[in-house]
Structure 1
Amino acid sequence: MTPSVKLKPYITQVRGIAYKPDEIADTPFENSVPLLKANNITDDGLDSSSLIYIAADKIKSEQFIRAGDLLLAASSGSKKAIGKNAHFPESFSGSFGAFCKVVRPKNGLHSDYLKHFFKTRYYRSSIEKAVQGANINNLRNEHLDDLEISLPPLNDQIRIAHLLGKVEGLIVQRKQHLQHLDDLLKSVFLEMFGDPARNEKGWPINPLVIYMSEQPNNGLYKPQSSYGSGMKIIRIDSFYDGIVQNIEELKRVEVTDAELLKFEIRPFDVLVNRVNSIEYLGKIGVVPAIAEPMVYESNMMRFRLNHEAMLPVFLMYFWRTPYLKSQINSKAKKAVNQASVNQQDVTGLLVPQPPIDLQKQFSTIVEKVETLKSRYQQSLADLEALYGALSQRAFRGELDLSRVPMSL
């Protein structure tokens, strides 16, 4: 087993650039370079869709991103966001803002090996524990310096990175397959029903309430002391513009008979988030088949559709269109850090009504694609479990590397 060492002697930490609002622009200008921010760092790597630009002469030489660097979110109001990172296999002709930092490996620490270390549960839990209790979470140098890492010889680091990289590549492929299937269903929806904003197929358009068998009802509020046992309760993190997920992981709450009668969930019920940040306000969740009674919490509303007029799967895909989202945004009541919609806002949303037979055809297509997606999702879960197990053994120094090739 390879002994662990403190990370400090093997990394250089570089803090990002502090800038004034008048020093940056949303588009490139003469002698400018892109400046990355914490929101450009995602779980799947770097998102370069919302870059800002700054004059190159504002950047010190060590603040330019080099091949092998890892860019970390160093300050954030979210403990989940702090420490998230992106690896740069090649140099990047730009820099990064003050809420980020670069970690630059040295002294025999291979950058690909460090990249995978920064994906371990040990790293994630250590960072979250280090910033616990702070309102604004700051990743200080000592938080990284004090991390312990198993440091085998360089060739073994390369072998470990090669092995983990192979599994990581398969994970990326599975995610791409799932994204392609999602894109396929979006295309099928538009092909069958057209763009609802233009309504080129001439479907009747009515307020959503016309298609309801039961109008919206806000959910159940229970104090924290009521949680722990009882019935499962659907909470706001259980869905995002789609089917309610992870039913088996729902929390439980004590519910009276009268509360169950009023707030009980049934398959194909439609849930709408009524209070959230403007980005997530109005997200929809359709309840799948469920094996036991359950209820839903107070920051959402539930309604039921007349399935002879409109199917939940059609409404779910319609709900994802810019046409619907713009309606929700126009009805939103905005406050500090959040917004809300009420029952009247939801019942008044304008929704086209294609023939029910066409909706049923679409539902059949969705069912077939979802069956295929479930296989990919299981494969993805298996690969992620494999990556986690290999990573854990690798960074404990427990992997047999004799049959793992070295790839530079």
Structure 2
Amino acid sequence: ITFKDKPSRADIAVREGDVLFARMKGTKKVLRVTQELADVIVSTGFAVLRPGEDCDPAYLAAYLSTDYFERQKEKYCSGAIQPAITNGGIEKLQIPLPPLNDQIRIAHLLGKVAGLIAQRKQHLQQLDDLLKSVFLEMFGDPILNPNGFPVRRLSEFYVNPKEGTKCGPFGSALKKEELVDSGVPVWNMDNIAADGHMALPFRMWITKDKFEDLAAYSVQDGDIIISRAGTVGKMCVAYTNGEPAIISTNLIRLRLGSNLRPLHFVSLMLYCKGRVGRLKTGADGAFTHMNTGVLDSLEFPYPPIELQDQFGAIFGKVESIRARYRQSLADLEDLYGALSQKAFKGELDLSRMPLPRQVEEVPNLTIRATGESTISVSFLLPAPKDPEWLTVGNRQKLIEFWLTAWCEHYVEVPFEASKFLDAAYQQLVELTERNSFQFDKPGKGLDEAKWYEEPAPFGIDEYDQIKKWVFDALAAGKLNQVFQNNQIALL
């Protein structure tokens, strides 16, 4: 947008190194302004902090992202309709400020864990995208129905007319004071993840006697649990291992017979959202809800049961990987929380943690391919057979090994030194970080953790090696200079 068209509240100019946080109570948003974001204008809904020389911006951003800062901020929020912190309240905020080098260490450490968390989330999203792609490839768009599957009503597949669908108990049947600290689990909307899987742990329970009273609302293995208020239409397949459970007020239980796999229906509704009927009732923008009648009338293309089972087998293999990534993500988030808590309380021993290295400035190679790149980001350079090649003293062997693998993979793609080095360093970090944040032996605390130093960035020596390799490859006929797009490229 232009300055003239900007919203009236977009009135604060920021520069590189500034740290922003949302003023409004209950809004946890923090942003560190990087070089790419410098000179943008932000809303007055953000407070802009400009750290001095004794405060590292990355450290400040990490602290502002914590729950304990958020609690401190909310203590000074004021206002009846939209409580927010004023400049006067900001002046009362307190931030722990260790020596600058320790701030840098803390920010670097938390940044590495945060990077791994982001990586795990990306992996999970990629697996979700893979399953969606497989589903659409096998079954097609339900509106277009390219496979010509017969269109059937969901109600045809209920286990029986009485138990096919069931809304959760009314509030009078399950009162808040009847919930206990342990016992028979009660499903609520938080137990249905947005990506269609069952989200644990349970947070509500009832006694066995109360369960007997509410047995009509019980959950069995293979039931589909659907939210009917709030985020209407979230659903997942329940896996209870035979243990009893019930649904709560704002949920619907869908119980199918043997001719429609629960996984197929959930996947259909998840991957083809909005293309298989409308689950909500009520005008858009108003309070919406869902009733069992909406499910009764739902129509969709019905594929053969064998094809449903084939997708189920694929799903099972991918789900085993997703489960490991989810556990890894949970572990990393727990680790981040524990590290940040100790770090900001001054309880983390940083004496053995090295300061992060600064990236060495290197000149551009004069011989490189230019023009539009067609390199696929999916190619990972192979791990060397000898782990010693990952050390600084063996960089020459590692670079030569990876150059050969790179050129064997990208036979018809122009060689670009910068892209090769980016991929090589990324893989070097990944391989050397696989043991990062691990303890020397089980039972050791965070203070006794073994810190792993980040690999030294590639510099002049690696660039010189690549230049020599390029000239040697040209002389040996392994690379050829060709004229592409009015430029010289190496193939």
TM-score computed with the length of structure 2 as normaliser: 0.65
Q: How does 1:27-176 map to 2 (within 5 A)?
A: 28=1, 31-32=2-3, 54=6, 60=11, 63-75=12-24, 79=26, 82-90=27-35, 91-106=37-52, 108-128=54-74, 136-176=82-122
| Count, aligned residues | 347
1:83-110 deviation line (CA, Å, top 9, x unaligned)? 3223222234532334333333235221
User: Relative to 1, partners in 2 of residues 1:310 and 1:32: Cα closer, same or farther, differing over 3 Å?
Assistant: farther
User: Relative to 1, partners in 2 of residues 1:260 and 1:131: Cα closer, same or farther, differing over 3 Å?
Assistant: farther
What is the aligned partner in structure 2 of residue 260 from structure 1? 214
Structure 2 unaligned blocks of 5 or more: 359-491
What is the aligned partner in structure 2 of residue 225 from structure 1? 177
User: Is 1:205 aligned to 2:151, yes or no?
Assistant: yes
Higher relative contact order (CA 8 A, sep 6+): 1
Aligned partners of 1:321, 1:177: CA distance in 2, in Å? 18
What is the aligned partner in structure 2 of residue 191 from structure 1? 137
Q: Secondary structure at the match of 1:147?
A: coil
Letter in 1 for 2:347: E
User: Is 1:286 aligned to 2:237, yes or no?
Assistant: yes
Equivalent position to 1:350, from 274, 281, 299: 299
User: Is 1:405 aligned to 2:320, yes or no?
Assistant: no
User: Relative to 1, partners in 2 of residues 1:131 and 1:265: Cα closer, same or farther, differing over 3 Å?
Assistant: farther
Q: Secondary structure at the match of 2:288?
A: strand
Letter in 1 for 2:199: Q
Aligned partners of 2:75, 2:288: CA distance in 1, in Å? 31
User: Is 1:245 aligned to 2:196, yes or no?
Assistant: no
Question: Is the Cα–Cα contact under 8 Å of residues 220 and 295 in structure 1 kept in the other structure?
Answer: no
Residue identity over aligned pairs, in percent, reads 36
Equivalent position to 1:310, from 257, 260, 278: 260
Equivalent position to 1:377, from 321, 326, 347: 326
Aligned partners of 1:284, 1:235: CA distance in 2, in Å? 11
Question: Is the Cα–Cα contact under 8 Å of residues 243 and 288 in structure 1 kept in the other structure?
Answer: no
Q: Please, which moves more after superposition, 290-299 or 255-264? A: 255-264
Aligned partners of 2:114, 2:197: CA distance in 1, in Å? 27
Question: Is the Cα–Cα contact under 8 Å of residues 155 and 297 in structure 2 kept in the other structure?
Answer: yes
The offset of 1:198, in angstroms, is 1.3
What is the aligned partner in structure 1 of residue 455 from structure 2? none
Aligned partners of 1:378, 1:64: CA distance in 2, in Å? 41
Aligned partners of 1:283, 1:390: CA distance in 2, in Å? 34
Q: Secondary structure at the match of 1:166?
A: helix
Aligned partners of 1:369, 1:341: CA distance in 2, in Å? 31
User: Is 1:391 aligned to 2:340, yes or no?
Assistant: yes
Aligned partners of 1:196, 1:185: CA distance in 2, in Å? 16
User: Relative to 1, partners in 2 of residues 1:162 and 1:240: Cα closer, same or farther, differing over 3 Å?
Assistant: closer
User: Is 1:321 aligned to 2:271, yes or no?
Assistant: yes
User: Relative to 1, partners in 2 of residues 1:107 and 1:320: Cα closer, same or farther, differing over 3 Å?
Assistant: same
Question: Is the Cα–Cα contact under 8 Å of residues 281 and 290 in structure 2 kept in the other structure?
Answer: yes
Q: Please, which moves more after superposition, 333-342 or 171-180? A: 333-342
Question: Is the Cα–Cα contact under 8 Å of residues 318 and 324 in structure 1 kept in the other structure?
Answer: no
Q: Secondary structure at the match of 2:16?
A: coil
1:293-349 deviation line (CA, Å, top 9, x unaligned)? 111111121121112x211111111111345467226x5213875201221112111
Structure 1 unaligned blocks of 5 or more: 1-27, 34-52
Question: Is the Cα–Cα contact under 8 Å of residues 9 and 44 in structure 2 kept in the other structure?
Answer: no
Question: Is the Cα–Cα contact under 8 Å of residues 269 and 303 in structure 1 kept in the other structure?
Answer: yes
TM-score computed with the length of structure 1 as normaliser: 0.77
Letter in 2 for 1:226: E
The offset of 1:355, in angstroms, is 0.8
Letter in 2 for 1:237: D
Q: Secondary structure at the match of 1:178?
A: helix
User: Is 1:365 aligned to 2:314, yes or no?
Assistant: yes
Letter in 2 for 1:89: T
Q: Secondary structure at the match of 1:86?
A: strand
Question: Is the Cα–Cα contact under 8 Å of residues 229 and 288 in structure 2 kept in the other structure?
Answer: yes
Letter in 2 for 1:195: D
Larger strand percent: 1
Question: Is the Cα–Cα contact under 8 Å of residues 151 and 302 in structure 2 kept in the other structure?
Answer: yes
- Say what the alpha-carbon RMSD is for the aligned residues: 2.7
What is the aligned partner in structure 2 of residue 46 from structure 1? none
